């Protein structure tokens, strides 16, 4: 298996690179934005033609949700055009492309979990550009897996877990949004899911290409997630005391970009097709000391 990874310094990209480089049967080319600008079509085509991957995993994205409202062209360049060029290059060399997308492609007001077949209706530039990327990938490469996920956290990069622990170390009280719900998802588990799918493709199995949802369980609010983070941190000795938390509404915490109130993704399809189980974020937080550095 020859795997080309883009966005190798991101949360999922780091985990992918770490896990795949331990596999003696896999040759990995891990690229960051400095070594490959995915918005440069010729650069993408040349890199793929030279390496001849069997799998391309696109973990590169413009994920700054609020900045995207101002950086519209940049968001579309990275989230739509880059994936399109990667998918076209994958098609050219007969590779499969695994592309990471987001819950933000949905409006976020449904009652219950979102299925892959539900109507998309993004509410901001980030979601719109990511949905445009999904469309381009699907059109450009027949062998494509689009993996929508949500609330990603991991040892690398910035995320809610690190932010909340940092704030908790200096403040006695914290206000946390309690009316947005989703499934926190460990980056290492996303990487493992993608690798499991990649191996099935390489084995020559009959693959049901298309869109899949992958995120964590149980579904919680940001407030409930924060409560769990601090409880685990105290229990594991990562912090000495838990700050007092107050649940607030989305209206009380305005942001430039609208956040979905419901980011709960149904993961039954990926379990049925690939035997990939939902991420257990409580297990992922067991080594919580790594998030407090």
Q: Nearest 10 degrees: CA dihedral of 251, 152, 114, 103? A: 70
How many whole angstroms from its chain centre is CA 4?
17
CA atoms within 13 A on the CB side of 268: 6
Q: Among 152, 150, 172, which residue's Cα sits nearest to residue 162?
A: 152
Q: Among 157, 63, 113, which residue's Cα sits nearest to residue 265?
A: 113
What are the percentages of helix, strand and coil residues in the chain, rounded to 5? 45, 20, 35
Task: Kindly give, in sequence order, each residue whose CB lies less than 8 Å from that of residue 172, ignoring residues fewer than 6 positions away.
Answer: 243, 244
Among the listed residues 76, 85, 104, 126, the single catalytic one is 126
- Verify whether residue 126 is a known catalytic residue: yes
Q: b/e per residue, 121-131, with b = 16+ CB within 10 A?
A: ebbbbbbbbbb
CB 107 within 8 A of CB 260: yes
Give the separation between CA 78 and CA 95, rounded to whole angstroms. 21
Active site residues: 126
């Amino acid at each position: 298996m020859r795997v080309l990874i883009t966005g190798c310094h991101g949360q999922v990209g780091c985990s992918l690179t770490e896990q795949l480089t331990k596999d003696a049967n896999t040759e990995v080319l891990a690229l960051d934005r400095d070594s490959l600008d995915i918005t440069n079509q010729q650069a993408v085509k040349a890199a793929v033609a030279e390496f001849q991957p069997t799998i391309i995993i696109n973990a590169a994205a413009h994920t700054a949700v609020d900045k995207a409202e101002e950086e519209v062209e940049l968001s579309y360049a990275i989230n739509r055009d880059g994936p399109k060029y990667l998918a076209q290059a994958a098609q050219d060399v007969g590779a499969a492309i695994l592309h990471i997308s987001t819950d933000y492609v949905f409006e976020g007001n449904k009652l219950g979990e979102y299925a892959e077949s539900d109507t998309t209706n993004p509410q901001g530039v980030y979601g719109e550009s990511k949905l445009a990327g999904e469309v381009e990938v699907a059109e450009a490469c027949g062998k494509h897996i689009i993996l929508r996920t949500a609330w990603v956290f991991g040892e690398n990069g910035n995320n809610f877990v690190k932010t909340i622990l940092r704030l908790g170390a200096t403040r006695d009280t914290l206000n946390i949004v309690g009316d947005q719900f989703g499934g926190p998802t460990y980056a290492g588990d996303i990487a493992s899911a993608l690798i499991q799918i990649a191996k099935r493709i390489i084995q020559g199995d009959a693959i049901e290409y298309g869109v899949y949802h992958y995120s964590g369980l149980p579904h919680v609010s940001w407030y409930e997630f924060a409560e769990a983070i601090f409880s685990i941190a105290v229990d594991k000795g990562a912090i000495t005391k838990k700050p007092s938390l107050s649940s607030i509404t989305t209206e009380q915490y305005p942001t430039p970009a609208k956040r979905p109130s419901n980011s709960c993704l149904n993961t039954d399809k990926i379990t049925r097709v690939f035997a990939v189980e939902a991420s257990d974020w409580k297990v992922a937080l067991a080594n919580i000391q790594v998030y407090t550095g």
